Amino acid sequence: MSKEKADQLKEEGNKCVKEGNYAEAVLHYTHAISQDGRNHVLYSNRSLCFLKLHQYYYAMEDAKKTIKLKSDWPKGFFRKGEVEFAVGNYTLAMMAYKQAELIDPTDQGIKVAMLKTTKEVIRVRKEERRQPWLYGGGGLLIGFIIVLADQFLADKPSIKNIVLQILLIIVFGGMGLLVLKTYRFVIESQQSSLLEEPVDLMKAMNGEDDLPEKSGTETKQTDKKPHRKGGVGSARQRYKMGKS
């Protein structure tokens, strides 16, 4: 009965995918997985929906689950490659596509994806080779302009020594390369963050509610102030006895 229910839910999810309603399809596939948790096709289909919804972490998790359940099925590696490609990890995407191709060398979809990824890898490598010249050269140009402005536009040049002028130009060139390094770090961090697990706000809120609360008895005992033995009256009596 669970298998039949899962198949029915899968068909409803497939219908939603064809209509472009990926959020509703996720619900149907999730319900189907609860009925048949060993069905690798359900995870593969849900991975596609999460990818379309830009939920890359969940798309990757379902792709990995697909591979775990059916490692000899190319679609799991293909899904993994699609997620890697979407976040800009083109080298990792190519590795996943190649694993899929090893399983099914005749799949044209895999070949098209590999061709597309190859173009992106070539483009990125060209940019990486060109960027140092662009940023470093831009820094050198700015430094050179500053030196020229100081020599010809200022009433009294502040940098007269030729060595200092050259050093200033070199420093600006180095600053340009530093900007490039920072830019690449930011891009890589953004790509990595796309595959990080999103914060579960409901779990965080429930975590605060799970803190142990003080019972009424404990509260009363805490709020109750300690009394000194004897009190003021006994202290006066002891004072009179001592005086007599």
Query: Would you give per-residue pLDDT tens digits along the chain (244 residues)?
Result: 588 899 999 999 999 999 999 999 999 999 999 999 999 999 999 999 999 999 999 999 999 999 999 999 999 999 999 999 999 999 999 999 999 999 999 999 999 999 999 999 999 999 989 989 998 999 999 999 998 888 888 878 888 888 888 999 999 999 999 998 998 898 888 888 888 888 776 566 565 544 455 555 554 454 554 544 454 455 455 444 444 4
Structural domain that includes position 145: 121-193
CB 135 within 8 A of CB 180: yes
CA pair distance 145, 99, nearest whole angstrom: 52
- Is the same domain home to 14 and 102? yes
For residues 87 and 63, the answer to whether their CB atoms sit within 8 Å is no
Same-domain pairing of 132 and 185: yes
Q: Do 99 and 125 sit in the same domain of this protein?
A: no
* Whether residues 82 and 163 fall in one domain: no
Q: Report the predicted TM-score, pTM, of the whole model to 2 decimal places.
A: 0.72
70, 16: one domain = yes
- pLDDT, tens digit, for every residue of 105-146? 999 999 999 999 999 999 999 998 998 999 899 999 999 999
In a domain, 55, yes or no: yes
94 shares a domain with 143: no
Same domain, 93 and 153: no
**151 falls within a domain:** yes
Regarding whether 102 and 7 lie in a shared domain, the answer is: yes
Which domain-ending residue is among 176, 193, 210? 193
208 in a structural domain = no
224 domain residue, yes or no: no
Long-range contacts of 93-100 (CB under 8 A, 24+ apart): 93/117, 94/118, 94/121, 99/74, 100/74, 100/75, 100/76
Same domain, 128 and 79: no
Which residue, of 166, 193, 220, is where some domain finishes?
193
Instruction: Say yes or no: 90 and 132 in one domain.
Output: no
DSSP class of 196 = S
Q: Number of folded domains in the chain?
A: 2
- The answer to the question of residue 231 being in a domain is no
Question: Do 99 and 128 lie in a common domain?
Answer: no
Residue 75 lies in a domain: yes
- 206, part of any domain: no
- Tell me the residue type at 57: Y
180 part of a folded domain: yes
- Count CB-CB contacts under 10 A for residue 194: 17
* pLDDT tens-digit map of 150-169: 888 887 888 888 888 899 99
101 and 128 inside one domain: no
